[in-house]
């Protein structure tokens, strides 16, 4: 059954609110704004429609691992919008007396595991999926990776293991925004044809529009859960989605914006024209 139009409108509103949270975190130290904006819709969709979770403490919950940890502002924004986190807590970003920083950690309810070093959580998700199999559970294990992150060889080792062990409860979601830190993936270490690579490693791969809730719902409903090996959704996204002044700009990867720039970006999110930005990207992250 496809998503009703009213439901899609509601998810659009929620995703816009998540993007507002992301933009507000891009000052006073900054954040990885581009990568966070690219996976905002994915996270909103997964928590609203796909994952079977009754709150962060639900013992029977599906598990989501965020392997591309630098987009954690999108996850925190999603948590706020589904009522798992107080919005005020985001103001503690980069204060050492709380745990809200550039990468996720388990001090925040809802975060299943810490990440930041790329190419780790697909392996961790394989272990969690193996445990679910051992226990005879129907629990799904979802892991979100970046596309640049697929350069790391550990991802491909983990896929070989997942296929060998028939982990049909494992779903890999690739935030395919076509960028890594400094440039387009295809200009540095080309990944395409990506479906063929995943298929060759024994996974069923489906490509879809990562910003279209109906398309996402269609793709996730087609995954062969419980029947074959691991599944992969290649979600085509735009780095910086929602903000034309940031979208697909290698020089706006990680920025510590001024408060005025943040206000201008919030207006831009609501269709107010492109923000005039002068803060430069920091590239040492």
CB atoms within 10 A of CB 283: 11
The binding track of 110-129 with respect to other proteins, each residue x by CB under 8 A or -, is ----xxxxxx----------
Task: Write the DSSP symbol of residue 48.
Answer: I
In whole angstroms, the minimum distance from the beta carbon of 42 to other proteins comes to: 20
* H-only helix segments in 97-227: 121-135, 154-164, 185-188, 194-200, 213-221
Are the CB atoms for 237 and 42 separated by under 8 Å?
Answer: yes
In whole angstroms, the minimum distance from the beta carbon of 113 to other proteins comes to: 11
- What is the C-alpha end-to-end distance of the chain, expressed in Å? 43
Q: Which is nearer to other proteins, 6 or 97 (CB)?
A: 97
**Residue 188 near other proteins by CB under 8 A:** yes
Among 88, 97, 226, 271, binds other proteins (CB under 8 A): 97
Determine which helix (DSSP H) or strand (DSSP E) holds 268, and give its type and residue range: helix 259-269
**Nearest-CA neighbor of 141 among 96, 173, 109?**
173
Q: Bridge-partner residues for 51, per DSSP?
A: none
Q: What are phi and psi of 149, to 5 degrees?
A: -60, -25
**Nearest-CA neighbor of 40 among 4, 71, 84?**
71
CB atoms within 10 A of CB 256: 17
Choose the binding region for other proteins from 176-184, 194-202, 216-224, 265-273 (rule: CB under 8 A).
Answer: 176-184
Q: How many residues bind other proteins (CB under 8 A)?
A: 31
**Residue 73 near other proteins by CB under 8 A:** no
Are the CB atoms for 237 and 210 separated by under 8 Å?
Answer: yes
Q: Which is nearer to other proteins, 148 or 229 (CB)?
A: 148
Among 28, 209, 218, 248, binds other proteins (CB under 8 A): 28
Choose the binding region for other proteins from 6-14, 42-50, 179-187, 266-274 (rule: CB under 8 A).
Answer: 179-187
CA distance 185 to 273: 29
**Residue 240 near other proteins by CB under 8 A:** no
Tell the residue number behind the tokens 């029947």, with chain if given.
227
Choose the binding region for other proteins from 12-20, 93-101, 193-201, 228-236 (rule: CB under 8 A).
Answer: 93-101
Q: Which is nearer to other proteins, 134 or 284 (CB)?
A: 284
Among 91, 160, 164, 189, binds other proteins (CB under 8 A): 189
**Residue 59 near other proteins by CB under 8 A:** no
Contact residues toward other proteins (CB under 8 A) are 28-29, 69, 94-97, 99, 101-103, 105, 114-119, 148-149, 151-153, 180-182, 188-189, 283-285
């Amino acid at each position: 059954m496809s998503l009703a139009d009213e439901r899609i409108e509601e998810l659009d509103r929620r995703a816009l609110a998540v993007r507002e949270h992301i933009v507000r975190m891009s000052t006073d130290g900054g954040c990885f704004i581009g990568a966070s904006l690219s996976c905002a819709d994915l996270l909103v969709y997964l928590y609203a429609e796909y994952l079977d979770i009754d709150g962060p403490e639900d013992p029977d919950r599906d598990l989501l691992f965020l392997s591309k940890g630098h987009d954690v502002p999108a996850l925190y924004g999603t948590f706020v919008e589904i009522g798992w986190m107080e919005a005020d807590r985001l103001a503690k970003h980069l204060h050492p007396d709380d745990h809200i920083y550039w990468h996720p950690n388990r001090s925040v309810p809802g975060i299943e595991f810490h990440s930041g070093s790329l190419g780790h959580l697909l392996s961790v998700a394989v272990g969690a999926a193996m445990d679910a199999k051992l226990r005879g559970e129907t629990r799904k294990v979802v892991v979100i990776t970046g596309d640049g992150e697929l350069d790391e060889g550990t991802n491909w080792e983990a896929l070989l293991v997942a296929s060998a062990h028939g982990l049909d409860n494992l779903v890999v979601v690739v935030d395919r925004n076509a960028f890594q830190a400094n440039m387009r993936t295809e200009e540095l270490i080309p990944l395409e044809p990506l479906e063929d690579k995943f298929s060759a490693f024994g996974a069923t791969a489906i490509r879809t529009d990562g910003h279209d809730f109906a398309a996402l719902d269609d793709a996730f409903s087609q995954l062969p859960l419980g029947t074959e090996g691991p599944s992969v959704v290649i979600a085509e996204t735009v780095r910086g989605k929602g903000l034309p002044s940031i979208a697909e700009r290698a020089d706006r990867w990680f920025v510590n914006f001024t408060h005025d720039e943040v206000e201008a970006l919030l207006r831009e999110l609501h269709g107010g024209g492109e923000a005039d930005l002068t803060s430069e990207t920091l590239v040492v992250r």
